C-alpha cells in the first residue's frame, strides 16, 4: 500500500469546472486520480526543464491577463535582466483580456530555464511553454 496524504486546496470555480469537464471526457474514475496525474505531469515537466544543459535556441511562449495588477511591467522588467539571451520578443494582443508574448532565446540552457521559471511564477501568467532546440541541429539528450 502506497502512503497517502490528504490535502485541501482552493481553486477558482471556473478552473475546477474546466478540469471536471476534461476528466469526464477522459473517463477518470475520480477527481483525485486526475489531480495525481496532473501533478505527475507537472513534476515531469519541471524535471525536463531542469535537466537542460548547454547551448540552446528556442522560444518561450507566455499567455497572460494584462489586467492582472502590474504583470505587463513585471514581465518587461524580468526580460530586461536577460538581454544576453533574448534575441527578440513578439507581443500579440489575443483578445480583450489576454496577451501573448513569444520570446526568442538563444544561449545557455541554465539561463533560459531560469528566465522561464521567473516568467511562470508571475501572478497573471496563465500559460508558459518552452520549446528548445540545439543550435547545431543535434538531437537534445
Which residues of the chain form contacts with Ni ion (CB under 5 A)? Answer: 93, 99
CB of 133 to Ni ion, least distance (A): 27
CB of 89 to Ni ion, least distance (A): 12
Nearer to Ni ion, 93 or 126 (CB): 93
List residues bridging with 129 in a β-sheet.
61
**Are 82 and 111 a contacting pair, CB within 8 Å?**
yes
Nearer to Ni ion, 103 or 132 (CB): 103
CB neighbour list of residue 121: distance below 8 Å, 6 or more residues apart = none
Nearer to Ni ion, 32 or 127 (CB): 127
Grid cell digits, residue 54: 548547454
**Are 103 and 86 a contacting pair, CB within 8 Å?**
yes
Residue 98 annotated as binding? no
Residue 66 annotated as binding? no
Amino acid at each position: 500500500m502506497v502512503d497517502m496524504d490528504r490535502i485541501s486546496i482552493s481553486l477558482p470555480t471556473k478552473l475546477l469546472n474546466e478540469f471536471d469537464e476534461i476528466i469526464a471526457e477522459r473517463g477518470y474514475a475520480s477527481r483525485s486520480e486526475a489531480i495525481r496525474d496532473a501533478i505527475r505531469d507537472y513534476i515531469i515537466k519541471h524535471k525536463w526543464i531542469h535537466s537542460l544543459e548547454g547551448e540552446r535556441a528556442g522560444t518561450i511562449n507566455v499567455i497572460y491577463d494584462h489586467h492582472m495588477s502590474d504583470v505587463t511591467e513585471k514581465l518587461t522588467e524580468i526580460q530586461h535582466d536577460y538581454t544576453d539571451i533574448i534575441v527578440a520578443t513578439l507581443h500579440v494582443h489575443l483578445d480583450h483580456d489576454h496577451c501573448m508574448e513569444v520570446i526568442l532565446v538563444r544561449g545557455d540552457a541554465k539561463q533560459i530555464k531560469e528566465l522561464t521559471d521567473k516568467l511562470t511564477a508571475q501572478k497573471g501568467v496563465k500559460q508558459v511553454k518552452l520549446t528548445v532546440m540545439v543550435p547545431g541541429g543535434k538531437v537534445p539528450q
